Amino acid sequence: MSTDAPALLRVDNLKTEFSTDEGTATAVDEVSFSLAAGETLCLVGESGSGKSVTALSIMGLLADNGRITQGQVVFEGQDLVTLPESRLRTVRGNSIAMIFQEPMTSLNPVLTIGDQLSETMILHLGLTRKQARARVVDLLQKVGIPRARDVVDDYPHRLSGGMRQRAMIAMALSCEPRLIIADEPTTALDVTIQAQILKLLRDLSDEAGTAMIFITHDLGVVAEMADRVAVMYAGQVVEQTDVYTLFDEPEHPYTTALLRSIPHLTAPAGDRLAAIPGSVPSLLQMPAGCRFHERCPQAMDRCAGERPELLSTAGQGAHAVRCWLYDGAPLPKTAAAVVPA
Ligand SMILES: Nc1ncnc2c1ncn2[C@@H]1O[C@H](COP(=O)(O)OP(=O)(O)OP(=O)(O)O)[C@@H](O)[C@H]1O
Ligand SMILES: [Mg+2]
């Protein structure tokens, strides 16, 4: 997709902090990315890298101790960070929908599937109860729920995990959003169901031209779903590019290490995965310089003291990386980051 297309969403220099008993924890710091209509951006990174906090910041759904202290979230031209809560609620109801990992946390256990799905349609699309119910049955069929006419009167606990996640997707689609944010929507499901749900989401977003931010720690899922990828480490985006470049020519040593940590079909059985040595730094005590330098096999002197910025290494921001190996200038191909085996 052309990087010249006007952005549907532009996250610009976002910083999100939490007050905790031990001090201020900066969970998201200088995060920037943009998303065009119809595009799927995957956010990928280890546990605690700030993927969910980024999503919740965009939605304005941070926990009470959390606050956006810097930056903008521009959706269709308006900054959601400064939007009053009432208008933000309208955006959440009409334009942006979120799908979580565990559907039971977002499905109301005391309402039937039909009642909770039609609620949003009555509220946001102005349908009558009868019209909404017919729409719900259509939607349930569309997301592949068998016996939709019966399921509409079931309570969520009657459904299997995979069926609940389908119901959540139906609920997300019910307001015809232009952006869906899916936070590890298939992690809790077994592999076969996971593949079905991924395909369903991909088909639905292709069909309706819905943009998606897809959060995962699974690079296999990234390969399935992404047009573009932003790799997060310790609250920052460290590399951002299209999905093909990410797998074929990763630049950041962290991305390279992540890629090496995934099982390979061609690897001999019993081969151990390369774990990334060391651990993610504490939010309360970020190292000076590059946040990855203590774990980086290619760290140089300056990495410990100077903080790299996210800079373009290819034209028009198509490939950006936060690493002193690149220094903002495109390097010859042979100098690309290759972690020694
Ligand atoms: N309400 C909160 N108060 C304090 N710290 C928080 C709060 N919510 C999140 N954090 C911290 O922010 C950091 C980023 O968390 P986040 O949930 O975004 O990680 P993640 O990348 O989604 O990880 P995972 O893959 O495990 O879901 C973590 O260190 C987390 O402990
Ligand atoms: Mg998360």
The reported pLDDT for the residue numbered 151 is 94
Lowest mean pLDDT among 234-243, 261-270, 283-292, 306-315: 261-270
Instruction: Mark whether 170 and 194 lie in a shared domain.
Output: no
The number of C-alpha atoms within 13 Å of 259 and in the hemisphere containing its C-beta is 21
Strand order across the beta sheet in which 96-99 lies: 96-99, 179-183, 211-216, 40-44, 228-233, 236-242, 320-321, 311-312
Q: What is the mean pLDDT of residues 136-142?
A: 92
Instruction: Mark whether 181 and 252 lie in a shared domain.
Output: yes
Give the residue with greater pLDDT, 105 vs 190. 190
Rounded to 5 degrees, φ, ψ at 169 are: -65, -40
Instruction: Mark whether 182 and 224 lie in a shared domain.
Output: yes
Residue 20 and residue 2: Cα distance in Å, rounded? 42
Total domains, the chain: 2
| Residue pair 168/104 in contact by the 8 Å Cβ criterion | no
Residue 202 and residue 326: Cα distance in Å, rounded? 34
User: Which of 16, 17, 18 is the best mutation target for the ligand 1 pocket, counting ligand atoms within 8 Å of the beta carbon and taking the most?
Assistant: 18
- How far, rounded to the nearest angstrom, does the alpha carbon of residue 214 sit from its chain's CA centroid? 4
Ligand 1 midpoint to CA 336 (Å): 31
Ligand 2 midpoint to CA 161 (Å): 19
Beta strands in 37-115 (DSSP E): 40-44, 66-75, 78-79, 96-99
Q: What is the pLDDT of residues 157-176, one digit of tens each?
A: 999 988 998 899 898 888 88
pLDDT > 50? residue 334: no
**Ligand 2 ion: nearby residues, β-carbon < 5 Å:** 52
Cα dist from 144 to 169, 204, 227, whole Å: 11, 11, 25
Q: pTM for this structure?
A: 0.89
Instruction: Name residues whose C-beta falls within 8 Å of residue 297's C-beta, 6 or more positions apart in sequence.
Output: 253, 257, 339, 340
Q: How confident is the model at residue 341 (pLDDT cuts 50, 70, 90)?
A: very low
Alpha carbon nearest to ligand 1 atom 12, residue: 27
Instruction: Mark whether 121 and 199 lie in a shared domain.
Output: no
Q: What is the pLDDT of residues 227-281, one digit of tens each?
A: 999 999 999 999 999 999 999 999 999 999 999 887 655 555 555 556 788 888 8
Instruction: Mark whether 91 and 216 lie in a shared domain.
Output: yes
Instruction: Mark whether 166 and 89 lie in a shared domain.
Output: no
Instruction: Mark whether 76 and 45 lie in a shared domain.
Output: yes
In a domain, residue 308? The reply is yes
What is the extent of the structural domain holding 292?
7-95+177-265+272-335
Ligand 2 midpoint to CA 24 (Å): 19
* 329 burial via Cβ count (<10 Å: 0-12, 13-18, 19+): exposed
Longest Cα–Cα distance of the chain, Å, equals: 68
Residue 146 and residue 285: Cα distance in Å, rounded? 51
| Residue pair 9/73 in contact by the 8 Å Cβ criterion | yes
CATH at 25: 3.40.50.300
The reported pLDDT for the residue numbered 339 is 36
In a domain, residue 216? The reply is yes
Among the three residues 176, 193, 211, which one is the final residue of a domain in this structure? 176
In a domain, residue 340? The reply is no
- How far, rounded to the nearest angstrom, does the alpha carbon of residue 130 sit from its chain's CA centroid? 35
Instruction: Mark whether 152 and 72 lie in a shared domain.
Output: no
Instruction: Mark whether 216 and 311 lie in a shared domain.
Output: yes
Instruction: Mark whether 165 and 202 lie in a shared domain.
Output: no
